[in-house]
Amino acid sequence: MWGFDEVYDKVVFGGVLVQVWIPVMALGAIGVGCGALLAVAARFLAVQEDPRVAQATELLPGLNCGACGYAGCADYAKAIVQEGAAVNQCKPGASETVAALAAFMGVEASASDRQVAVVLCGGDAGKAKRKCLYNGVADCADAMLAGGGDKACLYGCIGLGTCARVCPVSAIEVKDQLAVVHPGLCMGCGQCVAACPRDLIKLVPADRHIHILCSSQDKGPAVKKVCTVGCIGCTLCFKTVEGKGIQMKGPLAVVDYEVALDNEQIIEKCPMKTIAARPAAGTKTA
């Protein structure tokens, strides 16, 4: 016959073993069941990835700039392979990338005309008059909320470098409170265009080098009060080219970049020196 101590040990310590092993076994069974379900799901619910997407992605520059209209290079490659998107939308890749993608997809395509950014303002710190001392956040959009920065012109470059900071290839620098684009570095992604709160930056054909560096909508007398290089709407440039390449939009002369403008006489005839020739793409602004 068992004594009290032996019975106590078997009941108590045996009970403890049962209490420990039952949960362990239950959890183990749950784990095995979940693993089996995941294996079944992976087998029957897996999304088959087209290997051509990865191959097309490798042909792109990998900058993920969004200039093609897609979130990044991988999304653009997927659209090319699965949706038939055009292969000539990658601006940074230019003709080499277009040729590689066209050959890979077995299609014919020509590279789109290269575009570069230009800041349509010439009012740096020495030419644009100040109205105050701005001592706020160094961001153009924030300065717009605080009276538009320290320059008196309400249309000109604020000069706090927001466009330069968003440029993925450092093609923009700020000189004397004026953003300047180096056309040889610019890849035409358009991020600076979206970042400028005053809509001063435009994408123009890379082979156009004559620009009217002003965006003011004020009339001549008002422009002269705030900037020494602003357009006063005298129409001399418009008359010189007989309206071919330059149009008047109210008091402001603007370049029609659809027309090749080669008459550099307008630069000398401009009384305010608003018109300037910038280096063609492939060179860096000094």
Domains of the chain: 51-105 (1.10.15.40), 115-277 (3.30.70.20)
The reply to whether the predicted model has a pTM over 0.95 is no
Using one digit for the tens of pLDDT, what is the confidence trace for 232-279? 999 999 999 998 999 999 999 999 999 988 888 899 999 999 999 976
What is the distance between the alpha carbons of residues 283 and 265, in angstroms, rounded to a whole number?
Answer: 23
DSSP reduced 3-state for 61: coil
Length of the chain: 286
What is the distance between the alpha carbons of residues 2 and 196, in angstroms, rounded to a whole number?
Answer: 92
Token look-up 């109210």 returns 250
Using one digit for the tens of pLDDT, what is the confidence trace for 41-80? 777 666 667 788 888 889 888 888 888 888 889 999 899 9
**Pair of tokens at residue 54:** 């990865």
